[in-house]
Structure 1
């Protein structure tokens, strides 16, 4: 089960197809217990969908409020009597906003959390698996929609095993004993049972009858597994023969249609041996990306404000030596911060990016709202900031700060005594043209963001967007002011620069 709320005005809306077409047809988190003669197994649904669900891209993060967290805590307590508990949901824990103690702490008793959302990151990360500090596995699965990925899992004497598969590829094979060392956890599983097991066990499925199941360990042929019942195949073994170090088990399954499948993994009967997950996958799944984005956004804003205010209130810096890049950069910031029109323009833009409403528009279908860096107000609800901080960082890094740098560079050209036409005829085309081209490309990106805003959130958002549309219109005006500024207003700075160059 995977559910989200993309452009859903409310859970009661007719647009909520999950309520109408899913097998469960219920909203919110829930707890299902599978009863067997040898124990109970809990399955807990984690619903972190924002309500209402905004349009793309601001639906990227899931949200859990205090009420939902309390519900999940109760479900976790209910599952404590089960042999195992498996949690499942749409969002990875790294893309869920949750109050203290955090969603990973709440699900710490779970054997595994099965999720989607990031899937394979467009094929860049075919395997996105990791383990929480508390021992819970977090297992991202590829998407069904485009790539037809699915997962099977099994408990064999309470040892958890799984396989990620592609629909239509046969045979399907899952080695349940001995289980993979990478996914073993003594905190949640009775790993000592592996040492006392009597048989290697394999689940093998195919559209045609399975004709052979060949087992090898460390490249040595052990024999043919025998069919026990259903998809279960077994082969006697002595685990004490493999009591030291790690070993590789390989199973080759063939069916009557001539198809074959080989699977393998590393195992160990020693509990004190561990394997590490891919560091990049762990970073993606264990980093609280919203917190990182929030901190980075605030740091960038404060850094830009600090630079502006510092240069505004300090005197002209006395530089010695040749006018290198650092000295000229410092001088250009000095000029920009001392001229009111540019200082207050950049200051206001930075403050507005952090605090002002970015746009007013149809945040979700039929519902107007207002978007800020710190969140969205829509239909009487407040959705706390998440991807808004990422968008804010992109706005700062790819337009606001480059615009400030471009203004500084242009003012420096003016202080050298040039106007727009004369600075193009200096003969330094390789230094001048790339600067203008880069700013033009970033300006085109800003124009495209206006187009995207219009296509996603409607005409109202396009016209009432100070950070996108209005800024796009005002940018040429402020740049024109630099090149048409009266030379007398730059007289002091021109004299300072000449004095510095002649010293």
Structure 2
């Protein structure tokens, strides 16, 4: 549901002003055919099950990369809170949406608090981080499972889930791989939740199986099995011991009698091996326990990715980096030259180079202006959404009469600071230090210290090429206007060579005082 065909990241990037067009594509695969957040109730003879859609699409939707975070305003949060209250009468509620909760900006008390009564939140968006994190699952502090699934568009990932006597089970699968197997009883310990599920029912079950649609087969191990061919064998093992062959009950449901009290002392491993008439086989397994006081922990990295408020972290890092750079510049500007003692090591020479850069006005004000402009100035003016011009700042985007609060803009700002602004300042300091040693551009290349000098220039050249590429990306994504009216990208790219040339052509008389100070320090 989170990654329906025709509702890909590219589609979301155009925002709700293009949603009608993409609705028609995704509705082809939808049973509900509704846009935005909504509440669907699935009624059965043994209870109701609520499904709540969470739509955090930005309106209007900017192009990449500024569409990475979803946003919920106060009105949307109130509507979702009402949907959550409506679902309280159901046996279970499942929430689903495109964005992970870690990539949704929402006002207090936060989206996780609103969905705290849900058994699980099913989402996509991160696409398993390009295969680096094939399993991105965790549990909210309030008890709700958050289960990210890979994308359908490129990798054909999908998910099936079932409620077996109100115990929730699921499997993440790749389309075309058969047979498909889901063990629903006993359910996986990792995904068990005493807050949302009647876990005590496990002790009263006598059959292993895949899904229960009536309580007459509660005491079974149950397995759901699907395949393009007929199923020939469903073998069940617990802790490596063959328990027997599950028998077919109806549809995809296979069951096997068992005594759960034989496994009530600790954790155990259940394995189901399925074969079909086409010779294909599939083995699935998980850890289970009949005790409610035993728990398993999710992968710490997956939990960090899904539970961290990445936008807040980016904001804090951005502000910290800016403040550190400004404090260093201003402090060295108004600080007298210190009398260094001892050999001219790395720390002393670094301090001296910052002292030189901060005392020469053209370099000091250039770096000060660049840093302040990165925070306060418009980065570019361009086609933020299709046919709509807007203006991008670090703290947000103005487009079509709307203000979209900053999110990815802070991450882009961090990248700009770390991979160009600060390296440029360091490179200028290093170049000024070479000048204070009495070198010109040509003479410093003939010192014989190629292993120390050449890598510095190569690194700065690579970062400059990265800056040029960012201009190309800006042009391809937001148009020619964005390329022309982009002080932080295009204009800075043009000014940088001029600034570097100023260092190497600076009159030696202006460096006289610093050359004397350095010689005095070297001779001491």
Cα drift, residue 429 of structure 1: 1.0
State the partner residue of 1:445: 466
Aligned to 2:123: 115
When residues 21 and 136 of structure 1 are mapped into structure 2, their CA distance, relative to the original with a 3 A threshold, is closer
Aligned to 1:350: 371
* C-alpha separation in 2, matches of 1:326 and 1:122: 40
1:487 paired to 2:492: no
1:426 aligns with 2:447: yes
Counterpart Cα distance in 2 of 1:37 and 1:158: 13
State the Cα distance separating 1:186 from its structure 2 match: 0.3
Q: Secondary structure at the match of 1:251?
A: strand
Report whether the alignment pairs 1:11 with 2:32.
Answer: no
C-alpha contact (below 8 Å) 2:14/2:63 kept by paired residues:
no
Aligned 8 A contact 1:411 1:482 in 2 = yes
SS in 1 for 2:497: helix
Aligned equivalent of 2:100: 92
Superposed counterparts of 1:240-259, under 5 Å = 240-259=261-280
Measured at CA, do residues 10 and 185 of structure 1 come closer, stay the same or move farther in structure 2, by a change above 3 Å? Answer: closer
Tell me if the contact between 1:8 and 1:365 (Cα under 8 Å) persists in the aligned partners: no
Give the secondary structure class of the aligned counterpart of 1:146: helix
Cα pair 1:214 1:251 within 8 Å, conserved? yes
Q: Is residue 2:139 matched to residue 1:124? A: no
For 2:12 and 2:72, the matched residues in 1 are separated by 18
Q: Deviations for 1:132-165, whole angstroms, at most 9, x for unmatched residues?
A: 1111111011111111111100000000000111
Alignment of 1:366-405 (within 5 A): 366-405=387-426
In structure 1, C-alpha distance between the alignment counterparts of 2:15 and 2:68, rounded to whole Å? 17
CA distance in 1, matches of 2:105, 2:172: 27
Whether 2:475 is the aligned partner of 1:454: answer yes
1:254-276 CA distances to partner (integer Å, 9 max, x unpaired)?
11222111111100000000001
Q: Distance in 1 between matches of 2:156 and 2:55?
A: 23
Distance 1:10 1:152, change over 3 A: closer
1:446–1:271 distance in 2 versus 1, CA, 3 Å? same
Unaligned runs of 5+ in 2: 207-219
How big is the shift at 1:27? Answer: 2.5
Of the three residues 143, 146, 149, the one matched with 2:151 is 143
Q: Which residue among 35, 43, 47 is the counterpart of 1:27?
A: 35
- Preserved contact between residue 69 and residue 99 of structure 2 (Cα < 8 Å): yes
Q: Is the 8 A contact 2:376 2:394 kept in 1?
A: yes
In the TM superposition, residue 12 of structure 1 has moved relative to its aligned partner by: 4.8
Contact 1:10 1:51 (8 Å CA) reproduced? yes
Q: What is the Cα deviation at residue 25 of structure 1?
A: 3.8
Which residue of structure 1 aligns with residue 217 of structure 2? none
1:44 match: secondary structure: strand
Q: What is the TM-score with the length of structure 1 in the denominator?
A: 0.98
Deviations 1:434-476 (A, max 9, x none): 1111111100100010011001100000000000000000000
Q: CA deviation at 1:7?
A: 6.3
Paired residue for 1:359?
380
**Is residue 2:49 matched to residue 1:41?**
yes
Whether the aligned pair in 1 keeps the contact of 2:54 and 2:95 (CA below 8 Å) is: yes
What is the CA RMSD across the aligned residues, in angstroms? 1.2
Moved more, 300-309 or 417-426: 417-426
2: distance between equivalents of 1:480 and 1:101?
53
Distance in 1 (alpha carbons) for counterparts of 2:236 and 2:230: 18
The Cα offsets for residues 396-436 of structure 1, whole Å up to 9 and x where unpaired, read as 00000000000000111111111111111111111111111
Q: Does 1:276 align with 2:297?
A: yes
Contact 2:133–2:302 at 8 Å: present in 1 too?
Answer: yes
Deviations 1:94-139 (A, max 9, x none): 1111111111111111000000001211111111111111111110
2:202 corresponds to which residue? Answer: 194
CA distance in 2 between partners of 1:361 and 1:107 (Å): 37
The TM-score, its normalising length taken from structure 2, stands at 0.94
Map of 1:158 onto structure 2: 166
CA distance in 1, matches of 2:297, 2:57: 31
- SS of the counterpart of 1:272? coil
- Within 2, Cα distance between the matches of 1:14 and 1:201? 42
Runs of 4+ in 1 over 6 A off after TM superposition: none
Q: Is the 8 A contact 1:119 1:128 kept in 2?
A: no
Q: Paired residue for 1:267?
A: 288
Match of 1:184 among 186, 189, 192: 192
Tell me the SS of whatever aligns to 1:121.
helix
Say whether the 8 Å CA contact 1:360–1:369 is kept in structure 2. yes
* 1:209 aligns to 2:230 (yes or no): yes
